[in-house]
Amino acid sequence: MGAGHRPHRLHIPGRSPVHALPPHCKLVAVLAFVLVVAATPREAVWAFGLYGALLAAVASTAGVPLRRLLKRLLIEVPFVAFALLMPFVVPGERIGVLGVELSVPGLWGAWNVLAKGTLGVAASVLLAATTELRSLLLGLRRLRLPALLVQIASFMIRYGDVVADEMRRMAVARRSRGFEARGVRHWGVLAKSTGALFIRSYERGERVHLAMLSRGYAGELPLIETCGAGGTAASRAQWSYAAALPVAALVVCLLGWSIR
């Protein structure tokens, strides 16, 4: 269980004003920002550029390198692939682009998915980069999220890394024996490795559960309030600072609806 207290690879340590904010303030701010972005009319293209500038300002204040931010945005690649198909499959008015007939509603739909999805993912990446995962869990508890859901999220975070480490060790073991997957004929080995990974992960989970029971676990993890941003109540000034992003986004959204 001690491995879960190590800094997560998504977190970028720092002492910026963004890092210092209580986690529940940042959670509410990011949620409000995403809701405002989702409510923005897709025709207000300029508004999404301003949203991107707001996030860039937050990243600059927090000292999050732009390269790392862009690298972590690759998680939305499946959604990008889906969006790129929309101009070809959505019915409606057609327009020629470089000799290719594309759907006008499909183009607007693709833009809507890409713009709002990218901004939402970027906001989430900034939240993870400036807040330790344990502090995020404490923030969820402070926001009165059901304790059972917080426990599930905690176990997913902790043992997702454990399973990933098992996968890396098994990959190293295969390579040390000269194995390299190059085609369909190697799928059998990979399938057996997947089965072995499931068994090993399940057995480790059983051992951890028994260890927790032996230490008095009765269905609820103890809430240990840590010093600093993770375990202190937020002041009015901190709430005001956290509200700067969603309030600025709300102003942009209202302008977007008014000058359509």
Per residue in 56-101, pLDDT (tens digit) is 999 999 999 888 888 888 888 888 888 888 888 888 888 877 778 8
Give dist(CA 135, CA 160) in Å, integer: 18
Residue 91 sits in the same domain as residue 172? no
- In this structure, the answer to whether residues 115 and 233 fall within a common structural domain is yes
pLDDT band at 144 (very low <50, low <70, confident <90, very high): confident
Beta bridge partners of 97: 100
Q: Supply the pLDDT for residue 7.
A: 55
Which DSSP string do the residues of 126-159 spell out, in sequence order?
HHHHHS-HHHHHHHHHHTT--HHHHHHHHHHHHH
- 50 within domain boundaries: yes
What pLDDT is recorded for position 99? 77
Rounded mean pLDDT, 137-142: 88
Half-sphere exposure (Cβ direction) of 215: Cα atoms closer than 13 Å:
10
Res 4: pLDDT? 44
Position 136 in a domain:
no
Give the domain extent around 13: 9-131+229-258
13: pLDDT strictly greater than 80: yes
Q: Is residue 44 situated within a structural domain?
A: yes
Q: Please indicate whether residue 216 or residue 131 has the higher confidence score (pLDDT).
A: 131
Cα distance between residue 218 and residue 237, in whole Å: 38
Tell me, yes or no, whether 155 and 123 share the same domain: no
Indicate whether 20 and 126 sit together in one domain: yes
- The count of domains in the chain is 2
* pLDDT value of residue 242: 94
Please report whether residue 104 resides in a domain. Answer: yes
Lowest mean pLDDT across 7-11, 124-128, 133-137, 143-147: 7-11
Pair 44, 256: CB distance under 8 Å? yes
Mean pLDDT of the chain: 85
Confidence of residue 2 (pLDDT cuts 50, 70, 90): very low
Q: Is 179 a domain residue?
A: yes
Task: Give the whole-number percent of the chain exceeding pLDDT 90.
Answer: 36
Domain contains 138: no
21: DSSP letter: S
Both 209 and 233 in one domain: the answer is no
Does one domain contain both 40 and 66? yes
Q: Is residue 176 part of a domain?
A: yes
Domain membership flag for residue 64 = yes
186 and 234 inside one domain:
no
